[in-house]
Chains A and B, each alone.
Chain A
Amino acid sequence: MTRRNLIKSGLVVLFCLMFAAAAFAGGNGEKAGASKGFVVGLSNGPFLHSWRIEMLESLQKQFDMYRDKGWASKLIIQNAGPDVNTQIAQIRNLIASKVNLLLINPNSSTALDPVIKEAQDAGVLVIVFDQPVPNPDVLNIYMNQEWWQSPLTEWLVKQLNGKGNIVYISGIADQPGNILRDQAAMKVLAKYPNIKLLAKANGNWDPAAAQQVMTDLLGSFPNIDGVLTQDGMTTGIMRAFEAAGKKIPPVTGDTLVAFIKDWKQRKDASGFNTVGIENSPGAVATSLGIGLRMLQGKKLKPDLLIVDPNVMPVASKPHVIWTHPSLQVDNTNIDKVYGEYKDWADSFYVNIWYTEDQIDALFQ
């Protein structure tokens, strides 16, 4: 026997053993869950941004609360990175671990459909959160971007008394969430004919990129009365005005902890005024609360599930729960919010989610 053949036959034997054992044990794989309470799995994609880190910490915290109440027994968290096939493999492992509730922040809006079906066929309750999946058979829970963007836009219009020249620094151009925010902003602005949108540019949710495009816009437009922006770019925009030696006009804010600190300082020093609406990483905890109640057999209020016309044809089966932003920060409550978050890391976000009472109110 040559050495190559030896390895080959070794491999064949190994495979046969695995295969035989698998075939032999077929059907014996079922084991009853020993401990009480439901097993919860989270399949997350990339784990790089502080938003996602805070998301996992919030989930763990909320889960611990439910575990102490005896509602849940085990939480398994898996991060796939940006690769969709790894996420699929991890979801299969979560199915094999016999999770009862599977929370997914999807890497692709469509590619997870077959593995979601596998999970559902295995009796797992699947909830997709944060980003929509256009699949009428899976429960989606995410914030309505219009409910988030419209109040910001309204605030700016009010600051300008419905009249003036503005620019809009938007997020990443082709991101679904950003497209919806742009639409919501335009819908509000259309109501005010005396507000003139000079230009719209993309700052990609990155303060440095926002500062750059704002600097460019300042060169082209000397008469900017206000700046509309969203989600983490206000700091960069204000720096652009300061670097150009110009007075900062009314600009919408955000709830990044670094900005909350800056805001409080500027307010105390010079009466700075803005608005921010939470986009909490902890929103996943709301999905956990809803999922556990559903597993307990509680029924959602019938009119709660809707069809998101931005994602699916209106005639589809309702499968989406839109959540409301839980907190608007402005100068009436900035001192209180600052007090709560002043010791948090700069890169974190104001983090708040539905209370137990608010979640209970979603059920019959």
Chain B
Amino acid sequence: MKAHRVVRGLLQNSSFPSFLMLVLLIILNAIIQPGFFSFQVFRMNFMTFTPLILVSLAQATVILVGAVDLSLGAGISLVTVVMASLMQNSTLSMVLVTALGVAAALFLSFFNGFFIGYIGPPPLIMTFATSTMWFGTALLIMPTPGGHIPQAYYMIYGKTLAGFIPVPVLILLVAVAFCLLLGRIKAFRHLYAVGGSERAARASGISVTGTKIFAFLVSGVFIALAALCVVGQTATGDARSGQGFTLNSVAAAVIGGIAFSGGKGNYVGAIIGGIILGLLINIIYFANITSFYQEFMKGIIIIVALLFGAVPRLRRELSHH
């Protein structure tokens, strides 16, 4: 009886279909990628997966509160440009500039959250506008890619700690710890209330504006970590280096079962969504698909993943009628 209930609950969990998809893709990936379980490949895979997972978490946070962030990619680029234009070879400079990069990411997110919270433009339009602002500022600081990131700094990203923990995995663990911490904070639960129904949340005494700003700030933490990864893997400031992350993050979050309407989904799903997108890059690569079909196949697999993610909602809706 109890087992039956657990299984039914599992089937209805918003992340379950994406979890199934993940298992499927891992099996597929392991079959076609030579040495998938070798440590080297594991390490290199996570160098790619980590920023994708982080931007997925960032996007999931703001989608949960009923917003969306189209300036995420441009924000990452701007942080890389700021860091690469200021960093010197001394350890002190590396530490200070890293802190400045994190602060910059938080500020950009705060800016979005503040306007959306207090003035109330549609987040889609607001963050689209700020994305062009961040991009313009990045171009202004650095019209062509460049700047200086010391080798001692960027090489950290490819290192392995204690012989078996790649740095990208460590960064991911930090992010997971942060997620667990958030789960214990009351303000975080308000995200779901505000994302579900602003009016109901307000009626029950929750500060809608404050919750939105909080969501964007939390998102800013993940964006900052993602930007550090990008600096680690590109060793450069580039006004375009983050561009691809914007829509990838939305896709990853939605694949992970975060409802675009807000208020539904969880971080486990967002992490799964990020990994799924990373696995996609690999699968398309190792399936040796000809150039003409590579982009096409990527689109097809994303749609399949979205359909998987839609299963619980469809079940719910169908059972109502």
Q: Does A50 interact with chain B (Cβ within 8 Å)?
A: no
Bound-complex Cα distance A7 to B6 (A): 11
Q: Does B204 interact with chain A (Cβ within 8 Å)?
A: no
Bound-complex Cα distance A220 to B44 (A): 58
B236, A113: Cβ atoms under 8 Å?
Answer: yes
Bound-complex Cα distance A53 to B295 (A): 14
A interface residues, tally (CB under 8 Å): 55
A84, B234: Cβ atoms under 8 Å?
Answer: yes
Q: Which of A4, A11, A110 contacts B238 (CB 8 A)?
A: A110
Q: Does B42 interact with chain A (Cβ within 8 Å)?
A: yes
B interface residues, tally (CB under 8 Å): 62
Bound-complex Cα distance A22 to B244 (A): 29
Q: Does A115 interact with chain B (Cβ within 8 Å)?
A: yes
CB contacts under 8 Å to A, within B2-40, are: 6, 9-10, 12-13, 15-16, 19, 22-23, 26, 33-35, 37-40
Q: Which residues of A contact B60 (CB under 8 A)?
A: none
Contacts A4-B13, A96-B33, A118-B158; A110 near B145 (Cβ below 8 A):
yes
Question: Which of B23, B37, B157, B278 has the largest count of A CB atoms less than 10 A from its CB?
Answer: B37
Contacts A23-B164, A89-B48; A29 near B40 (Cβ below 8 A):
yes
Q: Which residues of B contact A109 (CB under 8 A)?
A: 144-146
Q: Which residues of B contact A271 (CB under 8 A)?
A: none
Bound-complex Cα distance A31 to B37 (A): 13
Q: Which of B144, B268, B278, B295 contacts A81 (CB 8 A)?
A: B295
A108, B238: Cβ atoms under 8 Å?
Answer: yes
Bound-complex Cα distance A222 to B71 (A): 48
B285, A93: Cβ atoms under 8 Å?
Answer: yes
Q: Does A21 interact with chain B (Cβ within 8 Å)?
A: yes
Binary interface encoding of chain B residues 243-277 relative to chain A, with 1 for a CB under 8 A from any of its CBs, else 0: 11100000000000000000000101001100000
Contacts A31-B35, A78-B285, A89-B48; A111 near B291 (Cβ below 8 A):
no
Known pairs A90-B285, A96-B35 / 13 extra A-B pairs, C-beta < 8 Å:
A4-B13, A23-B164, A84-B234, A84-B244, A86-B244, A92-B44, A93-B286, A108-B145, A108-B234, A111-B236, A113-B236, A114-B232, A174-B144
17 A-B residue pairs with CB within 8 Å: A4-B13, A11-B272, A22-B41, A24-B37, A26-B164, A27-B39, A28-B38, A85-B48, A85-B233, A85-B244, A85-B245, A86-B281, A93-B33, A108-B234, A109-B145, A110-B238, A111-B236
Contact residues of B with A, CB < 8 Å?
Answer: 6, 9-10, 12-13, 15-16, 19, 22-23, 26, 33-35, 37-42, 44-45, 47-48, 51, 143-147, 154-155, 157-158, 164, 230, 232-236, 238, 240-245, 266, 268, 271-272, 278, 281-282, 285-286, 288, 290-291, 294-295
